Amino acid sequence: MELKTKEAGLKHPLSGRSFLTLSDYSEEELLYLLELATYLKNARKAGENKQPLKGKTLGMIFEKSSTRTRVSFEAGIFQLGGTGLFLSKQDMQMGRGEPIADTAKVLSGYLDGIMIRTFSQATAEELAENASVPVINGLTDTYHPCQVLADLLTIQEIKGGLKGLEIAYIGDGNNMANSLMIGAATMGMDITVAAPTGYQPDPGITLKAISIASAHGSKVEVTSNPQNAVDQADIIYTDVWASMGQEDEQTTREQMFSGYQVNKDLCSHAKKDAIFMHCLPAHREKEVTAEIIDGKQSVVFQQAENRLHAQKALMLALMG
């Protein structure tokens, strides 16, 4: 197995860079990461045991709990020959008020890369500004770029490409919606986000995604009508109605989003070969019915596995 493209051919080499939001990366760079992820996935399934990051260490800062993010990063760095260190806020001086800038400088002396899963995007950005090693955004309240990189890999595997496809995102205009808009626009895909008034994506991020789309021949739209969004869509995507930290809004959100459930009737408006995606964890019979998420069109567990392969590509490209 060989890569068709070489990182050296990119206009902006990835080594040493941080990964905070997809808008920092060009279409060419994202395609390289997807190709590298495919290469690493195939190599693992073929039983190859190359360890290009042997001797390197990734620090993983968690201010938010996680299943997929922690396990995929920890397993991924191990498979690449390196070591992953789990660092909870409670176990670090950050939890006692040490400035983020100081933490970044200290960790840079010990580590080859840092992944952070936190609440504020500003925290991830300040960490990256003061670190001398790459910082990867494992999730913030504003963006979830690692998930979308895995989503793009999944769509590419199933559909054979990305450009020209249509995504319908149904539900809360949260960090997933924000990153999906940017990722889709960059790759020449059309995306429509359907969310109730008051729960639609950040207007500034939406305008940024529209600007990116205009340069890539794609379109980004936001609506309150879920049926219009899924009309002839290739991909139907949803997320939980109340994200981590919004548990006290659960009842209100269930009322507001009751007309945004992904079910058989809604999916009937999409293309016959449309796939269903969800970043997980999912609440069956809330944002999606069991019939859909457990049905033949669902690819949610392929998505989940691809977090591992996409993030291995990220770590190798940035830390290698």
Q: Give catalytic status of residue 156 as yes or no.
A: no
316 is in an annotated binding site: no
120 is in an annotated binding site: no
Question: Residue 305 carries which side chain, given as an amino acid letter?
Answer: E
Decide: residue 288, CB within 10 A, 0-12 exposed, 13-18 middle, 19+ buried: buried
What is the rounded average pLDDT of the residues 251-269? 96
What is the rounded average pLDDT of the residues 242-250? 81
Helical (H) or strand (E) element with 276: strand 275-278
Please state the length of the chain.
Answer: 320
What is the rounded average pLDDT of the residues 146-160? 98
What is the rounded average pLDDT of the residues 77-89? 96
Q: Give catalytic status of residue 278 as yes or no.
A: no
Catalytic member of 253, 279, 303, 311 = 279
- Confidence class for position 127, pLDDT limits 50, 70, 90: very high
pLDDT in tens, 40-74: 999 999 999 889 999 999 999 999 989 999 999 99
pTM of the model: 0.95
Question: Residue 308 carries which side chain, given as an amino acid letter?
Answer: L
228 is in an annotated binding site: no
Nearest to 279 by CA among 188, 183, 160: 183
Q: Give catalytic status of residue 267 as yes or no.
A: no
Catalytic member of 79, 239, 253, 311 = 239
Cα dihedral value 75, 79, 81, 84, nearest 10: -10
What are 221's strand-pairing partners? Answer: 192
User: In sequence order, which ranges of the chain are alpha helices (DSSP H)?
Assistant: 27-45, 68-79, 100-108, 121-130, 145-159, 175-186, 203-215, 226-230, 250-256, 264-267, 290-293, 300-319
Among the listed ranges 8-12, 79-83, 123-127, 136-140, which one has the minimum average pLDDT value?
A: 8-12
Nearest to 279 by CA among 125, 172, 122: 172
Q: Give catalytic status of residue 307 as yes or no.
A: yes
Among the listed ranges 124-138, 172-186, 189-203, 245-259, which one has the minimum average pLDDT value?
A: 245-259
pLDDT for the residue numbered 1? 47
Is omega for the bond preceding 281 within 30 degrees of 0, making it cis? yes
Catalytic member of 144, 253, 278, 309 = 144
Q: How far apart are CA 53 and CA 259, in angstroms?
A: 47
Q: How far apart are CA 88 and CA 75, in angstroms?
A: 17
